[in-house]
Structure 1
Amino acid sequence: MLREIRHLWHSKKEIPYYYFKYLYRNDVKNINDYLGTKEANRLHQNPQLHRSEITTIINNKLAFSLYAQKHGLKTARLYGYHFNHKYFFNETLKSVNTEQSLHHFFQNLFNTYQTTSVFVKPLADFGGKGCFILRSEDLKNQLYKKKEALLTENHLFYEVIKQHPRINEIHSHCVNTLRIVSYITPTGNIEFISTFMRFGIDNSPVDNGSAGGIFVYVDEDKGTLKEMGIKKMSFGGEKLTHHPNSNFKFDGFEIPYFKETYDLITTYLQYLPDRIIGWDVAITTDGPVIIEANDCPNLHSSDVMSSGGLLRNESFRELVTQINSEYFNPT
């Protein structure tokens, strides 16, 4: 381990704190195939990869939803949103200042869209924090608990995704998503450099690793889950072959609409051609749906969940080498 740490310190020109998160494991075959922290930061900040005209849309969840719906791109349906007590719904603006007016607003929303539930997401949400579901049968009690946030913060109101029943067999208490990282090469080719699937646990409404969720490796050639899933180190770093709630075995599970998922992202990239994007994709009975896009995805998570490190991808390795060269040898 000391030899590997010294090697990374020299080659990456940084103290490799990330080594102690996952590279120390025996199943890591080549530590040189993984990104350093500073390399990941250079990728996030490089103007050749990210254009502000595009990332402005990607980074704002409201702008992304409206843009996708305008162009007929498959995404979770946006019912409405609010900024503090200003509520937007069905092309109208209402002032909502009390628990009673909150109740009236959501009853109207449920009736208009003929639904019994709505997924509420903070506009500035990160890692699934602050998300919850409002249900019509317990609306008054839920609004009593959530009224402070709903009257003082900013949220988006989405349809509750109807997840594919095969995925519900693994975990049905939240929407479990694929995280796919796309890369557009200098010649304009689209490559998918990392794909893994996230599963929630217990009754959590989200599948994020920061909420204790499980990351499961994906065989990208077969479109199936691999044998092993892992939790973030902050939740113990446990390795799992079965989902802890359903006891469903991961290995060999065929992901529905896997090819169609890549096709959908390819279509999105015609409208949002940022060169590196992390996509969160839900699988419904009717096919894949984009939940959101991230121009600054956690590349370290994608790195460890890829097939042996992101730098095993030849074109991506060439990109990182070029950016490192430009950084250390500026003209």
Structure 2
Amino acid sequence: MNLISYTKHKVLDHIRFYYHYLTNDRMKQHFKRFKTALNKKPDSVIKNELKQLKEYWDYIPTQYYTHDFYSLDCHLTLDEMKKYIPSYYFYKVIFPQYDNVKAVIPLIENKISMNKLFNNIGLQQSNIVVVKSDGKLTSFKNEELTSEKIGQMFNTLTCKKLFIKPVMGRGGKGIIIAKRTSEGYEYNDKKITYNYLQALSGDYVVEAAIEQHSYLDAVYSNSVNTLRAITVRNDDGSVDFIAATLRMGTAGREIDNSSAGGLLIGIDLNTGKGLRPFATYEFGIERYNKHPDSYFDFSLLEIPNWQVVKQQILITAQKLTQINLVGWDIALTEDGIKIIEANTLFGIDHTQAGVGGLKDYFVSGEPKFLKNIHNFKGK
């Protein structure tokens, strides 16, 4: 990376930070917690830790506020804090060494093209029953659907819920969850019909709900509790499975996204057990030894059939050759895994909240020397 690129990154890091500080609700929450916290470390300690993290990464250490390193309840050493990657460094410096983000986003951020890609390479994906695109309703195989056909299809489905998802939605936003009734599928007392779907603004996919493994149903039954699995393809073609968290809904919510208030717990990749005996949110350091709804004891967590699940995830990542750095959302069923979606630019705060700092998976030595990034290509 030449001097011009280096200077550009430094300027953009500061612009991004202050823009998010002023406009981003999540960033505002982080600084509100910081400003109102009553159990902060002494100011001199906070100032020194921020200074050393800034010098180490050469970028603004946003992770200090995301994960409440300033709290007296944070017992990480400074060396352990250094393992946490700042968001700008991850998204703008590391990612370009692996993928052309502008090129891969159309492949997997659009749920229609993503699922067609999955189907072509033989991945076990979610069950899309209706596609709404450019005002037309079709099956996933592009068969035109009439009002009568949709009515017949919904009458024969046995799933308890339909997930009606915006094609370009992220973080669970905009999802309509229709529940099975004696009249069919309904949302807010309205029956899901051809006309209902046509009236929606924009493009959508309608997915039949996945029946998750009974073990995960016992953890929390209102949502499908998915694995967020991170895989990396190296320059030699090998694929590594580097991190996983189990995501869980809370408070009766029917989605497990951490951005919607869900909990998460890091998974030990060797055993399938929890890395820690407690779950957290993706920000802050609040701990839950038991699920607040089901009272499931997280110290006893062990993903069922873990060795098989792990192997299936690796095979899945090996098949998706178009993308090298992926955050997978994976449902576990009695019969194996189902791919909900793949994410580029996946949430670094989420994964580091569950498994700790990811620095060593991407950088050997000091990160400010960019050539220490694995697979560094000078971008």
| Shorter-chain TM-score range | 0.7 to 0.9
Alignment deviations for residues 185-233 of structure 1 (CA, whole Å, 9 cap, x no partner): 2333222222111100122121001111001122222111231111244
Q: Secondary structure at the match of 1:176?
A: coil
- Aligned amino acid, residue 179 of structure 2: R
**1:92 aligned partner:** 143
In 1, Cα distance between equivalents of 2:119 and 2:189? 28
- The 1:118–1:105 alpha-carbon spacing in structure 2 relative to 1, beyond 3 Å, is farther
**Structure 2 unmatched ranges of 5 or more:** 1-45
**1:129 aligned partner:** 173
Alignment deviations for residues 211-264 of structure 1 (CA, whole Å, 9 cap, x no partner): 11001122222111231111244xx75311100001110113110132222222
More strand by share: 1
Which residues in structure 2 correspond to 1:153-172 (within 5 Å)? 153-172=202-221
Q: TM-score, normalised by structure 1?
A: 0.84
- The 1:54–1:189 alpha-carbon spacing in structure 2 relative to 1, beyond 3 Å, is same
Q: Please tell me whether the aligned partners of residues 109 and 168 of structure 2 are also in contact (alpha carbons under 8 angstroms).
A: no
Residue 117 (structure 1) shift? 3.5
**1:285 aligned partner:** 334
Residue 83 of structure 1 pairs with residue 133 of structure 2: yes
- Aligned amino acid, residue 88 of structure 1: T
In 2, Cα distance between equivalents of 1:238 and 1:148? 40
- The 1:320–1:294 alpha-carbon spacing in structure 2 relative to 1, beyond 3 Å, is farther
Residue 325 (structure 1) shift? 4.1
In 2, Cα distance between equivalents of 1:121 and 1:277? 21
- The 1:84–1:259 alpha-carbon spacing in structure 2 relative to 1, beyond 3 Å, is same
Residue 63 of structure 1 pairs with residue 113 of structure 2: yes
- The 1:269–1:148 alpha-carbon spacing in structure 2 relative to 1, beyond 3 Å, is closer
In 2, Cα distance between equivalents of 1:48 and 1:141? 41
**1:198 aligned partner:** 247
Q: Percent identity of the aligned residues?
A: 25
Q: Which range moved further: 207-216 or 9-18?
A: 9-18
Which residues in structure 2 correspond to 1:21-60 (within 5 Å)? 21-22=66-67, 23-25=69-71, 26-29=74-77, 30-43=80-93, 45-46=95-96, 48-50=98-100, 54-60=104-110
- The 1:4–1:140 alpha-carbon spacing in structure 2 relative to 1, beyond 3 Å, is closer
Q: Secondary structure at the match of 1:10?
A: helix
Count of matched residue positions in the alignment of Structure 1 and Structure 2: 318
- Aligned amino acid, residue 305 of structure 2: Y
- Aligned amino acid, residue 175 of structure 2: C
**2:363 aligned partner:** 317
Q: Please tell me whether the aligned partners of residues 171 and 245 of structure 1 are also in contact (alpha carbons under 8 angstroms).
A: yes
**1:241 aligned partner:** 289
Residue 173 (structure 1) shift? 0.4
Q: Please tell me whether the aligned partners of residues 311 and 317 of structure 1 are also in contact (alpha carbons under 8 angstroms).
A: yes
**1:210 aligned partner:** 259
**Structure 1 unmatched ranges of 5 or more:** 96-100
Q: TM-score, normalised by structure 2?
A: 0.74
